[in-house]
């Protein structure tokens, strides 16, 4: 929602060190290696505090306990280690230690273990939706404003991006791709055909 988007933008714009990792990167086949990787991640966050630690695909390591079918129960051990790290971080925050904020990202929270999202751990849930037509149009207008020839393509480009559930990163990527076409053509302006070509590549030639 809009409030969630404002919160994420505020967090990422704050003067803090940002560490990002995809949760599957922590998973290793060797016994105990995943827990060590997680411990090193949080140690790095503490060393660089104030820190925003972003864990993408959190649901791969934070799933409800009882679903781990492996004989070593490696998934549940890693979840237990994550809970311990979050509890330890909460203890540090109670003192004068520099703040550490953990932001977990996942497609849905329904599969997360209830212990992970209780107060004192990952207590707040923010739903960030895909940008709507108005916001995509505004970003395209801002990004393309220096090239008047492209303004006529904005409505079609914005609709195509929204229809394909594009993120804001996709919107910026589209403009960057068109600008790279201009650079390769030794031109100083982005033209309407360049925007169309960038859309064509983005959607693998599908009609938009």
> What average pLDDT does this structure show over 57-69?
81
pLDDT, one tens digit per residue, over 185-197 is: 998 888 989 998 9
Position 111 in a domain: no
Cis peptide bond upstream of 50, omega within 30: yes
Do the beta carbons of residue 45 and residue 96 sit within 8 Å? no
Residue 97 sits in the same domain as residue 152: no
Q: Model confidence at 45, in pLDDT bands (50, 70, 90)?
A: very high
Q: Which residue range(s) make up the domain with 80? A: 2-105
Domain count along the chain:
2
Average pLDDT, the chain: 84
For residue 59, the surrounding DSSP H or E stretch is none
Claim to verify: residue 33 and residue 87 sit in the same structural domain: yes
Query: For the chain, what is the radius of gyration of the CA atoms?
Result: 21
pLDDT tens-digit map of 70-89: 556 678 899 999 999 999 88
> Average of pLDDT values for 46-63?
90
- Tokens found for residue 43: 């140690």
Strand ordering across the sheet containing 100-105:
17-22, 51-56, 100-105
Residue 12 neighbours by CB distance under 10 Å: 13
Q: How far apart are CA 129 and CA 135, in angstroms?
A: 12
146 plus 99 within the same structural domain: no
> What are the φ and ψ backbone dihedral angles of 27, each rounded to 5 degrees?
-85, 125
Q: What is the pTM of this model?
A: 0.61
Contact 195, 171 (CB under 8 A): no
Q: Indicate the pLDDT class of residue 207, thresholds 50, 70 and 90.
A: low
Please report whether residue 113 resides in a domain.
Answer: no
Higher pLDDT, 90 or 105: 105
> Domain holding 63: CATH number?
3.40.50.300
In a domain, 124, yes or no: no
Q: What is the pLDDT of residues 155-182, one digit of tens each?
A: 999 999 999 888 887 888 899 999 999 8
């Amino acid at each position: 929602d809009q409030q969630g988007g404002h919160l994420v933008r505020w967090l990422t714009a704050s003067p803090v060190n940002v560490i990002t990792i995809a949760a599957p990167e922590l998973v290793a086949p060797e016994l105990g290696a995943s827990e060590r990787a997680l411990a090193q991640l949080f140690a790095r966050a503490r060393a660089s505090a104030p820190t925003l630690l972003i864990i993408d695909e959190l649901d791969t390591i934070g799933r409800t306990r009882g679903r781990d079918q492996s004989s070593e129960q490696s998934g549940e051990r890693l979840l237990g280690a994550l809970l311990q790290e979050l509890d330890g971080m909460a203890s540090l925050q109670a003192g004068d230690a520099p703040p550490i904020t953990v932001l977990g990202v996942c497609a849905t929270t329904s599969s997360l273990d209830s212990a992970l999202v209780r107060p004192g751990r990952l207590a707040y849930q923010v739903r960030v939706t895909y940008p709507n037509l108005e916001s995509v149009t505004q970003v395209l207008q801002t990004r393309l404003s220096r090239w008047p020839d492209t303004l006529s393509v904005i409505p079609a480009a914005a609709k195509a991006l929204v229809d394909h559930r594009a993120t804001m990163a996709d919107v910026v990527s589209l403009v960057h791709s068109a600008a790279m076409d201009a650079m390769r053509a030794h031109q100083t302006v982005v033209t309407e055909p360049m925007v169309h070509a960038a859309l064509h590549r983005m959607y693998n030639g599908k009609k938009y």
